[in-house]
Amino acid sequence: MFNDLFSLAIYDDQMQIEKCELSAFVRAVTELYGLEQGRISEKDWLDESDLLDDPPRSEIRNWRSVTIAASARLADRLSVPLPDRKLSAV
């Protein structure tokens, strides 16, 4: 019984960390790039969290890696090709 309570406490802690990480990420994206990108990035973050290899009830989950992966999706979405520039001879 104690073991179950301990596991539940760890799970609750991980859920709180997950919520904080997601909230901070979405807030930052929304501040920098607007509400639409914030919403899309929230979905990206949740999609990436589903791809985590860790079992859902593991003691430690790497939420920062989820944020990094979602940030990469954002960067891909926002990247704009640079115009071709010809180097001038000096």
What pLDDT digit, counting tens, does each position of 2-36 carry? 566 656 677 788 889 899 999 999 999 999 999 99
Q: Encoding tokens for residue 75?
A: 């960067």
Residue 89 has pLDDT above 60, yes or no: no
CB–CB of 18/52 below 8 Å?
Answer: no
Residue 2 lies in a domain: no
**Per-residue pLDDT, 72:** 96
Rg of the chain over CA atoms, in angstroms? 19
Q: What is the pLDDT of residues 42-80, one digit of tens each?
A: 999 999 999 886 665 555 678 999 999 999 999 999 986
Nearest 5°: CA angle at 84, between 83 and 86?
135
| 36: in domain | yes
pTM of the entire structure? Answer: 0.72
- Count how many domains the chain has: 1
- Domain holding 39, by residue range, is 16-52+61-74
What's the CA gap between 65 and 49, in Å, rounded?
A: 9
Q: Is 46 a domain residue? A: yes
Report the 3 state secondary structure along the chain.
CHHHHHHHHHHHHHHHHHHHHHHHHHHHHHHHHCHHHHHHHHHHHHHHHHCCCCCCCCCCCCHHHHHHHHHHHHHHHHCCCCCCCCCCCC
Output the pLDDT for position 12.
81
